[in-house]
Amino acid sequence: MNKSKLLTFAVIVLFLINIVTLSFFIFNGQNSNVMRGKRTLPREIVIKKLHFDEEQVAQYEELIKTHRDSISKIDDKIKIYKNSLYKELAKSHNQDVVDNLFIQIAAAQTSIEKLHYNHFLDIKKMCKPDQLNDYNDLTTELAMIFDNKLPPPMDKRREH
């Protein structure tokens, strides 16, 4: 076997090893659902971790709907405040107006965080005594579960 055939063979083997390694990480890694665009929904995690029965799931679904509606209303206000803030860039730049808009945005964001906090207090109220230990365990994971910084599903990345 001459050197060029040996080199070609080595390149092919290394290429195949890379493909196998990448496939392993993509399809068997810890974040395989995220990488495949199948992120587990927070609601599913909560239901599973707290071992909700059918009645609790129905209550939780209603709680989610109310929570989302409340958050959406505040998000709409934040968008209005931000639009006003950025319109100030083209104006004479009245610092009092800008500062007031920052305060309004901060207050709205604070309201959102309070709603989130109270949402989880409401979930706690739904728990049966034997589910409270699971609830306490869940509270240590909440920031990670509801982190919006996870990569979007693969089909969403292509749109940007």
The pTM for the full model equals 0.65
Return the pLDDT at 157: 43
pLDDT in tens, 5-53: 777 877 787 777 777 777 666 666 544 444 445 667 888 989 999 999 9
Return the pLDDT at 154: 47
Return the pLDDT at 28: 61
Going from the C-alpha of 41 to that of each of 65, 89, 116, the distances in angstroms are 15, 38, 16
Other Cβ atoms within 10 Å of 76 Cβ, number: 11
CATH topology of domain 41-151: Four Helix Bundle (Hemerythrin (Met), subunit A) (1.20.120)
- Distance, in Å, from the CA atom of 138 to the CA atom of 142, rounded to the nearest integer, reads 6
Domain ranges within the chain, ordered by starting residue: 41-151
